[in-house]
Amino acid sequence: MLQLNNLSKIYRTSEVETTALDNVNIEISTGEFAAIMGPSGCGKSTLLNIIGMLDTPSSGEYLFMGENIAGYSEALLSNIRKRNIGFIFQSFNLIDELTVSENIELALLYHDIPVSERRDRVETVMDKVGIAHRAGHMPSQLSGGQQQRVAVARAVVGDQAMILADEPTGNLDSSHGQEVMEMLQALNEEGTTIVMVTHSPSHADFARRTINLFDGQVVAENIRAA
Amino acid sequence: MFKNYFLTAWRHLLKNRLFTAINIIGLSIGLMSCVLILLFVQDELSYDRIWEDSERLYQVNTTYNYPGSPANTTSRVTGRMKEAMRLYFKDDIEAATRLNSMNSTVRIGGSAFKEAIQFVDAEFTELFQLDVINGDMSVALSNTSNIAINASFATKYFGNINPIGQTLEVAVYDLNRVYTVAAVFEDLPHNTTLSFQALALIDESAFLSAPWEFDGWDSANGWLYFKLRSDSDEVKVSSQLKDFINSNVVIPSYVSTDKNAQPTDFWNYSFQKLVDVQLNAISNDDQMKELGALTKVVSFSIVAMLILAVACVNFVNLATAKSTKRAREIAIRKVLGAQRGQLIRQYLGESLLLVGIALLIGLVLVELLLPFFSSFLNKHLTLELANPMTLLQLVAFVLVIGLLAGAYPALALSNVVPATVLKANKSAGQGQSVLLRQVLVVFQFAISIGLIVATGVIYAQTQYSITKDVGYNTTNLLSVRNFGTAQAAAHQQAIRDRVQRLPGVTSVAVTSSRPAGGGRNSRALQLPGQSINGLSLAVQAVDHEFLETFDIPLIAGRSFDRARSTDGTPRAEGAKPGEVLQGTVMINEKAVTRLGFGTPDQALGKAIRIVIAMVAEQEVYADLSVIGVVKDTVYHRPRNEGWGEAYYLEPNYPMGGLTIRYAGERTELVEGVRGIWQNLIPTVPFQYEFVEDVIQQAFSAEKQLAILFVVFSLLAIIVACMGLYGLAAFTAEQRTKEIGVRKVLGASVYDIVRLLVWQFSKPVLLACLLAWPVAIFAMLNWLETFPYRIDTWILFPICLGAGAIATLISWGTVGGNAAKVARANPVRALRYE
C-alpha cells in the first residue's frame, strides 16, 4: 500500500528547529491494521498527517501505491487523498451546521457522484454503523460514541482503501471506545487498510502490528501472530 | 453540492445570530442609503434630459464686467440677444427662444392672482416639447392673444369646464389684454430647470414703457435658450462670440464715452449645455428655480459609499474573527477532497447570500422611507423595480459588495492548513487577520470621526449663515409684494399712509426693491472733476423712514430730513441741456471704500455725479453730496455678500417695496394691510412675507444638506458601532481564559475593564490622526464656496469634539462586554481548557 523511505520532518521557526520525524522507514501493505504508539510529542500525529497527505515530508521518499508523492502539489495530493484515504479524528470533527446524513454525504460531494447514488451509499453506510435512526440529527444532539460512528461512516462512504485514525477512542468512554474499535476491526476484515494512532495498549491489541515511536524514530515493531 | 453550501451557510447564519444580525442590519442600512442616494443622484443627473436633442440645447449667460466691481454673471440676457444671435449664427443655431416672466397678474371673474406666465417666442416648441392634453401649442403661440396653460392652472380656474376657448386677462406693465386659452399641457416634470404655469407669445410692442425687458443691451431680464444645429458645434460658436458681441452690442454713454472701448470690455456672453445647468450652472443667480449643486451630489455619493464601506468592514472583521471556528469546517472539507477554488466559491457565495438578504431588507426600508426622503428633497423619486436597468444596478450592488466583503475572508479561510487545525483543540494561527482587523477598525473610526467633523462644520456654517448679521433688524418686518405693479403705482402713497395708521405699526418704508427680494440695479456714476470710466454703485431709492424702519445704524452724518426741501435727487423738469443740479445722497461703508472717499467722516460732503435726464439729446447731471454713511447691509440676496450701494431720495423712481415694522400680532397686522390693499387696489393680488422667514428660506438648501448629513453620518456611526460591539464581544469571549488567569493572579474587575477599554481606545486615537487632516482639508474647501463663513479655528474644537465622541462611543460599546467578562467567575473560564 505505502512505503516510507528515510523520511524526515523538521519544523523550523526563527529560533528553534524541531525534528519531528527522523529517518523513518515503514512499509504498510494492503489490508494491514497497524497501530502507532508512543509518548506525547514523539511524532505520531506528524507521521499520520504525512501518510494522510495533510503534511509533506522535509526529506525522504513516500511511495503511495508505488508512486513517489513526496513532491506533489496540494491539488494533486488532494485528488489522491479523496479517492483513497478516509480520516477519523479524536475530536470527531463533524461539521456542526450539517445533519448526520449531510456530514456523511459531504465526503461524496467532492467526487463526481450523482445525487441518487450518493443517497444510496449514505444510507447503506449509516445502516452499517448503526446510526440510520439519527440521520436527521445535528452532531450536537449525539453522544460522543454516536458522533464517532458518524465519523467512521464518513471515512468509508467513498469506498476508501485506507483509513487513518488519530486516537479515535481518545474522547470516548471505554464501552464506546470498544464499540468503535470493533467497527474498525470489522472494516479491516473486509479488506480496508487501517493505520491508527493510539495511547491505549488494549486498543492497540486490535491491530496486528504495532509500531513504537520515540523522539521521531521507530524504536520497536511487534507483529502479533494471527 | 450547491444545496450543501446553502445549508451550511444558512445554518451558520442562524447559529451566529449576533454576528448575522450585525452584518445584515449594517449592510441593509448601507444598501438602503446607497439606493436612496443613488435615486437622488440619478434624478439630479436627469434634469432637462426630457427634451428631444437635449445635448444640443444651450442656455445663454451674461457677465457684467464693470471696472472696479467684481464680475457679475447672471443666467439672464437682454431681450435683443435672440434676434441678434439668430442672425449672426444662422448657420449654427437651429432655433432659439426667450422666456420672459414679468410678474404678471392674471384676472379671472373679477379676482386677481399671481401666476408664473412665461412670454416666449414661437420657436419655443422647436426646443421644448410639452405634453399637450388639449388644443394645439402651435396655435397657442401663433398670435399674441392666445395662451397655453398647464393642467393645474386649468383645473384651478376652469374646473371641469373645457378650458379651450375660455378667456382670462393678463396685466403686466402697460399690457392689459384678454387672452384666449388655446392649449393645455401637462405640468412640467420636476426634473427640469424650466418653470412656468402658462406660456404666451412675446409682443414686444406692448412693453415699450419697459425698455429694459426687450430693448437695449445693458439690462438682462429674460432667459435665452438655443438649439445648435447637428452639423455645428459649440466650440465654433464660442470662438465667434467675441466678434458677435463687438459687432452687435452698443455701449451706452453712461457706461463709457471712450471711443476706443470694446463692448467685451464691459460685458460678455457665454453659454452652457442646458443639461449641465442643474448641477453645474455658470450662474446660479436669477434662474427660474433653485438649482442643485454638484458638491451635494458628490458629497452624498461619498457618504453612501462610506456607510457601505463601514458595513463591509464589519463583515470582514467578524468573518475573520470567527474564522477559528470556521477553520475546522474548512479543514474537514479539504481533508475530504475540496479544492481551494471550490472553498473560495463557497465562501463568496455565502457573503453574496448575506448581501442578497441585506439588499431585500434594504429595499423594504427604501420603500418605507422613500416618500419622506422624496418630499424632504422636494422631488418625486420612485424605485422602479420592474425596470431592467434598476435590477441590473441592484444585482451589480450585490455582486460588488459581496465580492468586496467576502474576498478577504474567503481567501484567508481557504488557506487553512488542515493538519494544524484538526489537531484536537488547537486554533488556527490568526496573526495576519488580527492585524487586518486592527487596521479596519482604525479605518472605521476614521470614517466616523471624519463624518462627525463634516457634520459639525456643516451645522456650524448653516447656523452661522442663518443667524448672520445682515446689517439690519430682520425681526418684526413685514414685506408686501406687488407694490411696484402698474396698477398699484398710483395708490402707493395712499396705501403707505393708511398702513402707517394701523395699530401695531411702528414705521413704514417705501423702497425701490424689497428686502431679500433678489435682483440688483446698478447706476453708473462719475466723480465730479475726475474721469473714471465704468464706475457704478447699486441703487436703492428710499424714503425718509428707511433707516428707522430697517433699523440700519448711521455711521456718520445724518439721514434724509423732511424739513430740508433740498435733500435728495433734484427734479430735472425745466433743466437746461448740460446743466448740473445739486442734491444729497446717502451711501454705505462699502461705497465709501469703492469711491475712495477715505473714512466715513471724510466722505461727508464729497459728491457723486449722476445723469438724471436727457434734454435735447444732452445729459442733465446732478451732483449729490454725501450727507450720511450707513452701515453695510446684505439687503438683496441673503446668500451673497453686500455690495457698495447708494441711497437716493428720488422722486419718480419706480418703487417696488413696502416694508412695515410692527409690534404685536402677525395675523392682525396682515389682515389690516390686506383690508387697505383690497379696498384700494382689488385688481392686484395681495402677497406678503415676513423678512426673517425669507432669509431662513434662502438657506433652506444648506439646512437640508445639514439635516441629511446628520442623518447619514449617524447611520454610518451606528453601523460602525454595531461592528465594534460584535468585535468586542468576540474579543472578550476569546480572552476569557486570559482574563481568568489574570483574575486568579489578583486583577480586579476595574483592571480588566481598563485593559479591554484601552485596547479599543488606541484605534480611536490613531483614527483621529488619520481623519482630522482629511476632514479639515475637505471642509475648508467646502467653506470656500461661501462668501460668509465661520472662522477657521472653529474646526479645531470640532475635531477634538469628534475625537471625544468617538472615544466615548468605543468605551460605551466595549465597556459592557468587558465588564461582563471581567465579573465572571474565573473558575468557569478556566475549567474548559
User: Which residue in A97, A105, A111 is closest to B15 by CB distance?
Assistant: A97
Is residue A190 within 8 angstroms of chain B, CB to CB? no
CA-CA-CA-CA torsion for B205, B206, B212, B214, nearest 10 degrees?
A: -50
Is residue A161 within 8 angstroms of chain B, CB to CB? no
Residue range B204-243, pLDDT digits in tens: 998 888 888 888 787 888 999 999 999 998 999 999 999 9
In a domain, B22, yes or no: no
Across the interface, whether the CB atoms of B4 and A109 are under 8 A apart is answered: yes
Across the interface, whether the CB atoms of A54 and B423 are under 8 A apart is answered: no
Across the interface, whether the CB atoms of B336 and A82 are under 8 A apart is answered: yes
Are B555 and B624 members of one domain?
yes
Are B71 and B215 members of one domain?
yes
Domains of chain A by range and CATH? 33-53+74-223 (3.40.50.300)
Instruction: Report the residue of chain B nearest A91, measured CA to CA.
Output: B424
**What distance in Å separates the CA atoms of residue B219 and residue B523, rounded to the nearest whole number?**
11
Mean pLDDT, all residues of chain B:
87
Question: Is B533's pLDDT higher than 70?
Answer: no
Residues 45-84 of A with CB under 8 A from B: 45, 49, 52, 54-55, 74-75, 78-79, 81-83
**Distance of residue A208 Cα from the nearest chain B Cα, in angstroms:** 26
Is residue A91 within 8 angstroms of chain B, CB to CB? yes
The residue range of the domain holding B165 is 54-280
Global ipTM? 0.82
User: Which residue in A78, A91, A96 is closest to B337 by CB distance?
Assistant: A78
Q: Which of B662, B680, B709 is the last residue of a domain?
A: B662
Q: Which of B662, B680, B707 is the last residue of a domain?
A: B662
**What distance in Å separates the CA atoms of residue B107 and residue B152, rounded to the nearest whole number?**
16
In a domain, B570, yes or no: yes
Residues 93-152 of A with CB under 8 A from B: 93-98, 102, 105-107, 109-111
Are B585 and B722 members of one domain?
no
pLDDT for the residue B658: 94
User: Which residue in B7, B417, B422 is closest to A102 by CB distance?
Assistant: B7
**Distance of residue B460 Cα from the nearest chain A Cα, in angstroms:** 52
What percentage of chain A carries pLDDT values higher than 70? 99
pLDDT for the residue B496: 94
Are B101 and B247 members of one domain?
yes
Across the interface, whether the CB atoms of A91 and B337 are under 8 A apart is answered: no
User: Which residue in B8, B340, B424 is closest to A95 by CB distance?
Assistant: B8
Q: Which of B264, B280, B296 is the last residue of a domain?
A: B280
**What distance in Å separates the CA atoms of residue B269 and residue B242, rounded to the nearest whole number?**
8
In a domain, B776, yes or no: yes
In a domain, B178, yes or no: yes
Across the interface, whether the CB atoms of A87 and B335 are under 8 A apart is answered: yes
Kindly tell me the sign of the dihedral angle through the C-alpha atoms of B781, B785, B791, B795. Answer: negative
Q: Is the pLDDT higher at A71 or at B793?
A: B793
Question: Is B694's pLDDT higher than 90?
Answer: no
Q: Between A and B, how many CB-CB pairs are < 8 A?
A: 70
Across the interface, whether the CB atoms of B11 and A97 are under 8 A apart is answered: yes
Instruction: Report the residue of chain A nearest B13, measured CA to CA.
Output: A97
Across the interface, whether the CB atoms of B422 and A98 are under 8 A apart is answered: no
Are B811 and B712 members of one domain?
yes
Residue range A157-189, pLDDT digits in tens: 988 899 999 889 888 888 889 989 999 999 999
Residue with cell 470640532: B798
Are B249 and B114 members of one domain?
yes
Are B142 and B235 members of one domain?
yes
Domain count, chain B: 3
Are B646 and B719 members of one domain?
no
Residues in chain B with CB shorter than 8 Å from the CB of A91 are 424-425
Least confident of A3-12, B435-444, B698-707: B698-707
Across the interface, whether the CB atoms of A97 and B423 are under 8 A apart is answered: no
In a domain, B458, yes or no: yes
Are B772 and B624 members of one domain?
no
Are B726 and B604 members of one domain?
no
Instruction: Report the residue of chain B nearest A49, measured CA to CA.
Output: B419
Chain A interface test: which of B328, B422, B425, B426 (most A C-beta within 10 Å): B422
Kindly tell me the sign of the dihedral angle through the C-alpha atoms of B795, B797, B800, B801. Answer: negative
Question: Is B830's pLDDT higher than 70?
Answer: no
* Mean per-residue pLDDT, B675-700: 88
Residue with cell 527522523: A22
**What distance in Å separates the CA atoms of residue B606 and residue B556, rounded to the nearest whole number?**
13
Q: What nine digits make up the cell of A101?
A: 446524513
Across the interface, whether the CB atoms of B4 and A74 are under 8 A apart is answered: no
User: Which residue in A54, A78, A109 is closest to B419 by CB distance?
Assistant: A54
Across the interface, whether the CB atoms of A91 and B424 are under 8 A apart is answered: yes
* Interstrand relation of B223-228 and B645-648 (parallel, antiparallel or unpaired): unpaired
Question: Is B136's pLDDT higher than 90?
Answer: yes
Residue range B601-614, pLDDT digits in tens: 999 999 999 988 88
In a domain, B687, yes or no: no
Are B194 and B88 members of one domain?
yes
String of DSSP letters for B601-632: HHHTT-EEEEEEEEETTEEEEEEEEEEEEE--
Are B109 and B215 members of one domain?
yes
Question: Is B254's pLDDT higher than 80?
Answer: no
Instruction: Report the residue of chain B nearest A158, measured CA to CA.
Output: B336
pLDDT band at B69 (very low <50, low <70, confident <90, very high): low
Cβ neighbours of residue B154 closer than 8 Å, sequence gap 6 or more: B134, B163, B181, B184
Instruction: Report the residue of chain B nearest A105, measured CA to CA.
Output: B4
Across the interface, whether the CB atoms of B424 and A90 are under 8 A apart is answered: yes
Question: Is B621's pLDDT higher than 70?
Answer: yes
Residues in chain A with CB shorter than 8 Å from the CB of B350 are none
Residues in chain A with CB shorter than 8 Å from the CB of B332 are 93-95, 106
Give yes or no for a contact between B19 and B307, defined as CB atoms under 8 angstroms apart.
no
Q: How far is CA B272 from the centre of its chain?
A: 19
Residue with cell 438657506: B699
**Distance of residue A180 Cα from the nearest chain B Cα, in angstroms:** 18
Residue range B766-795, pLDDT digits in tens: 999 999 999 999 999 888 888 788 888 999
* Interstrand relation of B536-541 and B645-648 (parallel, antiparallel or unpaired): parallel
**What distance in Å separates the CA atoms of residue B406 and residue B748, rounded to the nearest whole number?**
40
In a domain, B774, yes or no: yes
Question: Is B399's pLDDT higher than 80?
Answer: yes
Mean pLDDT, all residues of chain A:
89
Tell which residue, B478, B513, B480, B485, has the closest CA to residue B684.
Answer: B485
pLDDT for the residue B623: 93
